[in-house]
Amino acid sequence: MAPPLRPLARLRPPGMLLRALLLLLLLSPVPGVWCFSELSFVKEPQDVTVTRKDPVVLDCQAHGEVPIKVTWLKNGAKVSENKRIEVLSNGSLYISEVEGRRGEQSDEGFYQCLAMNKYGAILSQKAHLALSTISAFEVQPISTEVHEGGVARFACKISSNPPAVITWEFNRTALPMTVDRITALPTGVLQIYEVSQRDSGNYRCVAATVAHRRKSMEASLTVVPAKESKSFHTPTIIAGPQNITASLHQTVVLECMATGNPKPIISWSRLDHKSIDVFNTRVLGNGNLMISDVRLQHAGVYVCRATTPGTRNFTVAMATLTVLAPPSFVEWPESLTRPRAGTARFVCQAEGIPSPKMSWLKNGRKIHSNGRIKMYNSKLVINQIIPEDDAIYQCMAENSQGSILSRARLTVVMSEDRPSAPYNVHAETMSSSAILLAWERPLYNSDKVIAYSVHYMKAEGLNNEEYQVVIGNDTTHYIIDDLEPASNYTFYIVAYMPMGASQMSDHVTQNTLEDVPLRPPEISLTSRSPTDILISWLPIPAKYRRGQVVLYRLSFRLSTENSIQVLELPGTTHEYLLEGLKPDSVYLVRITAATRVGLGESSVWTSHRTPKATSMKAPKSPELHLEPLNCTTISVRWQQDVEDTAAIQGYKLYYKEEGQQENGPIFLDTKDLLYTLSGLDPRRKYHVRLLAYNNVEDGYQADQTVSTPGCVSVRDRMVPPPPPPHHLYAKANTSSSIFLHWRRPAFTTAQIINYTIRCNPVGLQNASLVLYLQTSETHMLVQGLEPNTKYEFAVRLHVDQLSSPWSPVVYHSTLPEAPAGPPVGVKVTLIEDDTALVSWKPPDGPETVVTRYTILYASRKAWIAGEWQVLHREGAITMALLENLVAGNVYIVKISASNEVGEGPFSNSVELAVLPKETSESNQRPKRLDSADAKVYSGYYHLDQKSMTGIAVGVGIALTCIFICVLILIYRSKARKSSASKTAQNGTQQLPRTSASLASGNEVGKNQEGAVGNEESLMPMIMPNNFIDAKGGTDLIINSYGPIIKNNSKKKWFFFQDSKKIQVEQPQRRFTPAVCFYQPGTTVLISDEDSPSSPGQTASFSRPFGVAADTEHSANSEGSHETGDSGRFSHESNDEIHLSSVISTTPPNL
């Protein structure tokens, strides 16, 4: 249902809330409004053909609230009942004897029944009552002579109603149609193939209807003997198809009869290459095409082709089938409920062939436009509704094939306490296109006003289109800002309440100011002599003049010079003669018009060549006139000077669109004084030049410009603009494109629709950067956008040169760009035996958006095989754990960043060496990496400086306690032999020697091989009454007599037996000075007793080695070589691992 205050041509509501409020209040159910049975027809009269003096019944049955009165109209006038004509009780019309005399007594004509009850009246469709007639034969069969074996054809034609059935007689007896070589077409054509002597005789056709029967003249067929030798004869179509116009559901026959030797084969096709409907089409005889139950899809150009068998020799004939269709509705009017003084708008659209004519009826009577009621093509608008407008309205569409009607009810809601009209309405001109309108609130019931409606139209002219704007009740002024300059407008205001509206206010008239001309005049250039140019121009049309022209400015120059000469002429002049010019030279001329406000836009430069000085006998320039016939056609007329004595052989015509190449010449005869340029573009400026020529030379040329109009103007057709597209949807495809999709409004699909898309970033200040795109589809991919930017989109449509308003704006953002670079600062750190921590930083660039990281890692063997392990992390996470790593392998790691658009490049590969795990079991050699590796790695505990400091302090305290205990035991053991004290002295001397030997890294490296060869540790024998220091500070064994010193000189020490691997760094790191350095390629021996799990530890290894300040064993991505599918990786042969040692504390010699 249409909005209650829908504008006549365009609507500019202040807000959705107001529109929803008005819709809810004005369309809310009203008791008693719809409590009626809608009046409609059950049966309507149909076309009928009868014989004179026969009876006939025209059906008409109406349904609705009784009582229903039915009356009949004939050709629009009321039918009077008499003895022959009677209206039956069911509403049908009965004629007992149909009269066919000429004049008023004839019953032939168009009949309609009118049904009426208390709610209104409706009119039926038209039914044509026709008498059966038949004319004389228009075409008679003609006698013919045919060679034996040839083809014969007879034709006759007659007009009748209903169509006559045509049969043929041979020698005045019915011609049998059972013979395949004889075909009688329904159109009145008789075809005889392979003629023989028995076909000789007289033929005539018989045309018969229900009431009539006619016979044609006889025609004889003479058969002569055939030639003895039959030569080759190319196919010839002797009776081809004819253009046919048919109505729906009729039967059509396209004839095609051909001769040739050998006998040609006849085939049919469509010129548009569409397939022929095989269900309703068949071939009659030897190649005639019959289409039964003709429909719209059968319309087109049909091609008959006669081909010599086995060859490419053929000939064709074509005919056009035009199918006429009665009107059918595309859009129906809907019943409306409106308050008094409101506005009702009915829309009705129909299609048919030919295009139907639309008209409107109120209670069965035709409506004529007036001040309140206007019809714009297929729309009916009723302003300032009064109680008498409560009626049934019908839309009628009719063409030559019939008529149809559709009905809608307008119910007027009455209100007793409606507000009075707004008063003290006054207008003030603001500019050339804007007028301020102000008013006072109604004196009565102003508190019930919910909205105001501003109505305005042009004051000059007849049947001007009225516009309407709805605004809220919180204001009493409004600026109308889309008016035409230098025009008078009439305004009035209506106040609305929930159930009614006020009377219209007093009318006020105001004019807009002048503005500069919208376009320049069209100019014409001719030469009367080799040294002059006559410039003439037409007045600017009023709608483009925008005021009174007071000045014309002419500018001209030689095409070879840059200096411009300017002339200013009064606004009343329309031509000027430039004299003293150079012969045979090209001059450029342009013109500008000015009003009192200022100068308008200048015309483009129009060129003209002056004649040659020696061209005294050349034809003079013709007097040229250009007139646009429509938006794509220009009429070119000219008249030659009667005083011109030069001989003329013809004319040359040239034309071009502004800014395009020139077309021509078009050669015209001397008798031609008119030519039509067609196929042009609407709203374009064209330059036309014409000259006469003879055998000697070309004559003087005439130049003129003209603009083609728009195909349809809203104000010329007085129709509102079409509705805008709806359901606009946007979806980002890439970082630079967004896909738009929308739906077209619901009106006929037969119209060609184009769309304009408006696109600009949100918050754009420069209007020149707004992007406008055109398409004929309901979708478009907008490209070339900025990444990660929010855009606003709107769409409008164009149909028949009408443009809709812009659709509601849709906002959408482009996707971000795929990361252009890889993550930076990639580091891999081994944190456990089989686990590494990889960390990184986001790619460089502030606009880079990352939603996911991809981590690829693989051992060298898997990498060579192309087998990567993949991890994914969200964009906010910049670290990941690599688990289940296999000892003894070198792993390759690389990372890429990605988002919803795509994936960026991978970082440079980073290598991580996971070293083999050393075992503490006896008689087992340390594991080595693959033989391909040049270095052998030994493991040690990966401890940080704080841990080592704690261990060192703990070991120092333990040693101190042990030392004190030893001293106490020594001094307490008075009964000890002197050998015991000597043994104790030797033991104290061995400790510093062992510590000193381990302080040298080179010596440790030299003793590696010997230590590997004897891996079995020499464990001391522990007696039952011996005591072991469980604090881990020393391996000293104490019994009741004191400490026992072991004399096993072959004791082997291992350095921190552990499964962790040494991982090298390529860049040199700075460490704190150390006494002992670990060199790659050397092996450090680790005592089993040094393991934290051992029951005791040697005192001399209280803190064998301290860990350097940078204990993170990692490989930096900046220092490694690029690792890709080439398999190259970094080598750390020159890298060093710096280990700091801590000087161990040894007890003093006793």
Of 118 and 1099, more confident: 118
Nearest to 307 by CA among 388, 376, 237, 361: 237
Please tell me whether the peptide bond between 67 and the residue prior to it is cis, using omega within 30 degrees of 0: yes
Residues 302-353 have pLDDT tens digits of 999 999 888 888 888 888 899 999 999 988 898 888 877 778 889 998 988 8
**Residue 874 in tokens:** 């969200």
Alpha carbon distance 956, 1115 (integer Å): 35
In one-letter notation, the amino acid at residue 318 is M
pLDDT at 934: 32
Alpha carbon distance 987, 417 (integer Å): 126
Judge contact between 987 and 1136, C-beta under 8 A.
no
Residues 196-246 have pLDDT tens digits of 888 899 999 999 988 888 999 999 999 998 776 667 788 889 898 989 999
Residues 671-682 have pLDDT tens digits of 888 888 877 888
Q: Is the pLDDT of residue 248 over 70?
A: yes
Q: Is the pLDDT of residue 1083 over 50?
A: no
Residues 1-36 have pLDDT tens digits of 333 333 333 333 344 434 444 444 343 433 333 344
pLDDT at 915: 80
Mean pLDDT is lowest, of 253-262, 705-714, 757-766, 915-924, for 915-924
Strands (DSSP E) contained in 363-434 are: 365-366, 373-376, 379-382, 391-399, 402-413, 423-429
Phi-psi region of 908 (alpha: psi -120 to 50; beta: other; left: phi over 0): beta
**Long-range pairs for 836-839: beta carbons < 8 A, 24 or more residues apart:** 836/881, 836/882, 836/885, 836/891, 836/912, 836/914, 837/879, 837/880, 837/881, 837/882, 838/879, 838/880, 838/881, 838/882, 838/893, 838/895, 838/910, 839/878, 839/879
H/E element, 636: strand 633-639
**Residue 806 in tokens:** 């812009």
Other CB atoms within a 10 A radius of the CB of residue 1035 amount to 21
Judge contact between 920 and 1059, C-beta under 8 A.
no
The highest-confidence range among 388-397, 964-973, 1109-1118, by mean pLDDT, is 388-397
Mean pLDDT is lowest, of 288-297, 362-371, 497-506, 994-1003, for 994-1003
Pairing of strands 40-43, 77-78: unpaired
pLDDT at 673: 86
The band of 901, judged by pLDDT with boundaries at 50, 70 and 90, is confident
**Residue 907 in tokens:** 């970082």
Residue whose token pair is 């096993």: 1048
Alpha carbon distance 746, 952 (integer Å): 89
The band of 1066, judged by pLDDT with boundaries at 50, 70 and 90, is very low
Residues 380-424 have pLDDT tens digits of 888 878 888 889 999 999 998 888 999 999 988 776 677 788 999
Return the ∠ at Cα 745 (arms to 742 and 748), rounded to 5°. 130
pLDDT at 720: 57
Alpha carbon distance 444, 448 (integer Å): 9
